[in-house]
Structure 1
Amino acid sequence: MSPIRPGRAKVATVSAAELGTRTTELSMALVSGADELDPSGVEVARRVVDKAVERSGIAGDHTVVALAGATGSGKSSLFNALVGGDVAAIGARRPTTSRPTAGLWGDADASELLDWLGVAARHVVDTAPGAGEGPVDDSRAVQVVGSLDGLVLLDLPDFDSRELEHRREAERVLELVDVFVWVTDPQKYADARLHDEFVTLMSHHDAVTLGVLNQSDRLTAEGVKTLTQDLARLLVADGVADAKVIATSTVTGQGIADLRQRLANAVAGHAASRQRLKADVVGAATRLRPGVADTEADVGRVPREALDASLARAAGVPIVLDAVARDYRREAFAHTGWLFARWTKGFAADPLRRLRLDRTGGRPPIPVEIDGADVRAVLGRSSIPAPTVSTASAVDLATRSFVRDASEGLPVRWTQAVEDAVVGGDGTLSDSLDRAVIGTSLRARRPVWWFVVNILQWVLGLVALAGLVWYAVLWVFALLQLPRPETPAVGILPLPLVMLVVGVLLGIGLGILSRWWARVGARHRRTVVGKRLTESVAAVADEHILIPVDEVLLRHRETREHLEAAAG
């Protein structure tokens, strides 16, 4: 039952803890996604959060009820009837209420609340027996159950006043009160301003909304019934679920006691203020909810093959891998080639050195205090050719494709936030790719077979050299016509000749075989280093693209969850 429904008040359905939780959730949604949500909705939500926090911090347990209506609807007369005195000035044709007037029931101090409401005119209602009853229709007398202590009744300026200041004051106070009592009369009960500009906009407060058809003494009993039903129908059309309407007359006292009873119900339940604030929070969260999608992509599952491949090409990975393979073959020849041909290695340029990637002894540690702009000064810059226009375009296309896939289904503002989060247009991506290549180890431990073949080549080389020296000694003996020592033979061939021929032929043959095997090893080294470079490039993609995108999507998810929690 609503706190303003007939009968005894029920226990509050909105606890302070629930209101605090919803307010916190709405506030967190603004923290995580305010820049990507509708600006007007964000502004409203911030006012709602501020209002909830301020109202919750005000001491006392008062219920603020506003009598709002158009000029001539009899608001002030109804206010005087409820407070039991001529407190509000009454005007028959032109608006006379320029500032809100408050009627206070009970002994609790409401100064802090009224200061917050900005209401200066205050009247303490005499709650002694028989006082403040006003006119009562004896034929419809109703015994009020409960007390009005804690009620703060406000008589607002006319919201259709010709004075702009009056209208603005009414609108300002309506943003802060707990219960709306829309007061109208038989002539203006269907006024478009009332329904379109006020009731409809605040229809989500149906639990704390009541319609009053005042000046019912001007109608017949059948007319009162017809207009009351018609006003209820209009309120339902405005969005007020289960709308209730009371017919009142300050002349005959009709409905005054019934209205008092409903106000007593609202006060006794102590639910109206929290109900209103909850409705505001729910309304603000509901208004912002279309600004986020129902789900978001998982960055880890978005296809990234094209992105990594384009970044690898932009980083010059294919060029580096070709240099790694040539470097492997060059080093393999230096360790496994024919011993007497290795000197030709000096004529071949070092492929990694040409790219300034020949750091085998480790890099100097980067000082802790160095900033990002000076990292390149420590690590240096490679000589890898700059990416071509087509390569740069491929990176841009792949990045846009990845961002499009990651932001699929998101609202426009969130999609733009994802695009803005991607770094790369200012040259930092290119520098990061270059540093990633420089920081990747392009060599590995020398293969064991290099060591084995190197020993064999040295043995064969020494054998050939020994055979050659042996022949040289024999030639010197022959030149000096000295007796020649006996020369061992292998079959019919002299041993020195065998040593020379075997050492040379086997050394050359082993060198040719090693060169063939080095090509196989170069392909394997290319594969190993390629994996390292792929991981390094992927790390750069993570840093400059995936992580920023994921952060935006995380904020989107948090915003959606907070809004859903706030809206319940």
Structure 2
Amino acid sequence: MSTVTTKPGLAQRLAALTKIVELGPGRLEPKLLAEASTLLNRAGERLKLSSEHTVVALAGGTGSGKSSLFNALSGLELSPTGVRRPTTARTHACVWGLEGAAPLLDWLQVQWRHRFARASALDKGESQLHGLILLDLPDHDSIRALTDTEADRLIGQADLVVWVLDPQKYADASTHRRYVTELAGHEAVTVFALNQADLLSTEELAELVIDLNDLLRREGVEHPSVVPTSAVTGRGVDSLKSVLAGAVSRRRSAIQKLEADLHRLEQRLAETMPVGEVLSAPSSVDEARRLGLTDALCDAVGVPAVGEAMENVYAERSMRWVGWPYSRWVAKLRPDPLRSLHLEDVSDEIHGITTSSVSAQTAETVNAVQALADGLSAGMHPVWRTSVHHAARSRSAQLPKALTEDLAEVAPRLDRVPGWWWLLKVWQYVLVAAFVLGLAWLAVGVFFPGRAPLGIQLLGDTAALPWVGLMMASVLGLGALSGIASRNFVELGASRERERLEREMRRRVAAIAETMVVEPVERELGRHHAFYTAMNNLAR
């Protein structure tokens, strides 16, 4: 048994529909998804079964003469015809060429007792029908819900459908509303048999054929195939057999039916989600938006403020630690103009920063994430726009805490005193002590020459005192210069530390943004791109 050979285009379209069904939950209507899944299952099962057989279903309403036409086509009394109420309750099948047909009949769920094979002796002159599986379906307008459902199922599974219409009810609203209006694009696998032609005159039949063609075209069947038949007189039966023989010989009805079903489903999908959107929507987060998100989150967590505070605090505290002590003491004696204005001491405000910690502002992080999602989803279908926003916000509740905890590890304590500040302070106070000792030395030498220190006595002459004074002046100058140089070193070091700190904090913010915002968004953008790529492939 050979399976149906698909064209490359059909295989690609089925693969595209598989991708759409995979990505569709939550984005497509459940009913549409269910229809797509059903079509995929039906296509997969049909393509695995015999390609040597063409399944033709005779469908029609009660009293249309469908079973009589089935018997006329098969040449045997296989399907019972009702007298009082001509209703077909179960599907009957007649097979021309039984080999390999059993799995296909099993798939169609035709009961064994309702399967019939044309014996070779009876097939004389009908070899062109070899490979035909003809089904007589239950009436689609039956009052029995079970048979009605079975008819609907087999109409969908058949490779070609012959609609048997009678002259009285050929424009029956239930048939046209439920089935005919859904046949647009299925002309190649649909035939209309205007049965019971024996009840009409030649003129009446011609008028009905014209009227039926016009009706079908108005309902979207562009090129209807209408065959007048009569199961009683045999009129048109050979013509209908020729139509079926052509379908069987081409061995293409199964493929054409699937292609038509795919085309109809693709149109419904395109109405729901226009395919053109894939051309403009991004498939990933570009570098500019990544940088924009990082900038916004850095502002939310206060990275620039932390760097600036560190510089300000270092500058203010350096005056207390590495400035020349004499200059500080003299500055305290001068009046402070700010105090005369009753303003707070700026140094007290700066000092308060030293006990603060890094903290991300929730509202600002939410705004940053929202701005990213808005920019990426602009122009998308509302369903996908919502899904992109949902992906962006999927971890937004944890984002402020993650930023705060991670940046707290690198943010320096602004009340920390570097070790080299201690060394500078010790050095400056050594100079202060040296100046004080020298001053005391000179005072004793000048005012108490008889009690001059041993150092002056060793000099042997008080004439050396000016040199001592010069050395003391040099100590003052050295102290002042070291204070200025120290403060410059502190400010330069603070500037470099600020750059290093902001760079490291920014790197960590970018890493957190990538993990908690960008990656979920890019996964959703990837789904969006894959979905619309599949939609494009399905439309080919």
Same fold (TM over 0.5): yes
Instruction: Find the aligned partners of 1:407 and 1:102 in 2 and give their Cα distance.
Output: 54
Matched residue, 1:410: 380
* Aligned partner of 2:267 among 281, 286, 293: 286
Once the two structures are overlaid, the 10-residue window that deviates more, 430-439 or 553-562, is 430-439
* Aligned partner of 2:502 among 530, 533, 537: 530
Instruction: Find the aligned partners of 2:487 and 2:317 in 1 and give their Cα distance.
Output: 11
Matched residue, 1:371: none
Any idea what SS the aligned residue of 1:175 has? helix
Any idea what SS the aligned residue of 2:164 has? strand
Instruction: Find the aligned partners of 2:425 and 2:303 in 1 and give their Cα distance.
Output: 35
Any idea what SS the aligned residue of 1:496 has? helix
Alignment of 1:113-512 (within 5 A): 113-120=104-111, 121-128=114-121, 147-293=128-274, 294-295=277-278, 296-297=281-282, 298-300=284-286, 303=289, 307-326=293-312, 328-329=314-315, 337-338=323-324, 354-355=355-356, 383-385=357-359, 387=361, 392-423=362-393, 427-440=397-410, 469=437, 472=440, 478=448, 481=451, 484-486=457-459, 494-512=466-484
Matched residue, 1:73: 64
Q: CA deviation at 1:41?
A: 0.7
**Amino acid across the alignment from 2:164:** V
**Amino acid across the alignment from 1:421:** A
- Is 2:2 aligned against 1:29? no
* Aligned partner of 1:550 among 515, 522, 527: 522
Instruction: Find the aligned partners of 1:302 and 1:469 in 2 and give their Cα distance.
Output: 65
Q: CA deviation at 1:183?
A: 1.0
Q: CA deviation at 1:310?
A: 4.5
Instruction: Find the aligned partners of 2:474 and 2:231 in 1 and give their Cα distance.
Output: 131
Alignment check: 8 A CA contact 1:67 1:180 kept: yes
Alignment check: 8 A CA contact 1:60 1:109 kept: no
- Is 2:521 aligned against 1:567? no
Q: CA deviation at 1:324?
A: 2.4
Any idea what SS the aligned residue of 2:262 has? helix
* Aligned residues between the structures: 503
Q: CA deviation at 1:504?
A: 1.7
Q: CA deviation at 1:525?
A: 4.2
Distance 1:328 1:471, change over 3 A: closer
Distance 1:463 1:528, change over 3 A: closer
Q: CA deviation at 1:258?
A: 1.4
Alignment check: 8 A CA contact 1:467 1:495 kept: no
Matched residue, 1:378: none
Distance 1:527 1:431, change over 3 A: same
Distance 1:487 1:149, change over 3 A: farther
Any idea what SS the aligned residue of 1:65 has? strand
Instruction: Find the aligned partners of 2:83 and 2:213 in 1 and give their Cα distance.
Output: 26
Any idea what SS the aligned residue of 2:249 has? helix
Distance 1:337 1:454, change over 3 A: farther
Alignment of 1:91-102 (within 5 A): 91=82, 94-102=85-93
Matched residue, 2:333: none
Instruction: Find the aligned partners of 2:272 and 2:481 in 1 and give their Cα distance.
Output: 75
Alignment check: 8 A CA contact 1:178 1:273 kept: yes
| Greater RCO (Cα-Cα under 8 Å, separation 6 or more) | 1
Once the two structures are overlaid, the 10-residue window that deviates more, 85-94 or 454-463, is 454-463
User: 1:432-469 deviations in whole A, cap 9, x for unaligned?
Assistant: 111331354769xxxxxx99x99999988767765654
Q: CA deviation at 1:208?
A: 0.7
RMSD: 3.8
Instruction: Find the aligned partners of 2:183 and 2:427 in 1 and give their Cα distance.
Output: 99
Q: CA deviation at 1:128?
A: 2.7
Distance 1:539 1:250, change over 3 A: same
- Is 2:94 aligned against 1:103? yes
Instruction: Find the aligned partners of 2:394 and 2:242 in 1 and give their Cα distance.
Output: 68
Q: CA deviation at 1:318?
A: 4.4
**Amino acid across the alignment from 2:175:** L
Q: CA deviation at 1:261?
A: 1.3
Once the two structures are overlaid, the 10-residue window that deviates more, 15-24 or 457-466, is 457-466
Once the two structures are overlaid, the 10-residue window that deviates more, 331-340 or 522-531, is 331-340
Instruction: Find the aligned partners of 2:24 and 2:150 in 1 and give their Cα distance.
Output: 32
Instruction: Find the aligned partners of 2:88 and 2:488 in 1 and give their Cα distance.
Output: 103
Any idea what SS the aligned residue of 2:451 has? coil
Alignment check: 8 A CA contact 1:87 1:123 kept: yes
Q: CA deviation at 1:89?
A: 1.2
Q: CA deviation at 1:186?
A: 1.4
Distance 1:424 1:513, change over 3 A: farther
**Amino acid across the alignment from 1:554:** G
Distance 1:385 1:459, change over 3 A: closer
Alignment check: 8 A CA contact 1:14 1:275 kept: no
Alignment check: 8 A CA contact 1:299 1:406 kept: yes
Once the two structures are overlaid, the 10-residue window that deviates more, 222-231 or 472-481, is 472-481
Alignment check: 8 A CA contact 2:27 2:384 kept: yes
Alignment check: 8 A CA contact 2:95 2:117 kept: yes
Instruction: Find the aligned partners of 2:465 and 2:314 in 1 and give their Cα distance.
Output: 40
Instruction: Find the aligned partners of 1:481 and 1:466 in 2 and give their Cα distance.
Output: 20
Q: CA deviation at 1:63?
A: 0.8
**Which ranges of structure 1 fall in alignment gaps of 5 or more residues?**
1-11, 134-143, 356-382, 444-449
Any idea what SS the aligned residue of 1:530 has? helix
Instruction: Find the aligned partners of 1:559 and 1:221 in 2 and give their Cα distance.
Output: 55
Q: CA deviation at 1:80?
A: 0.3
Any idea what SS the aligned residue of 2:56 has? strand
Alignment check: 8 A CA contact 1:246 1:259 kept: yes
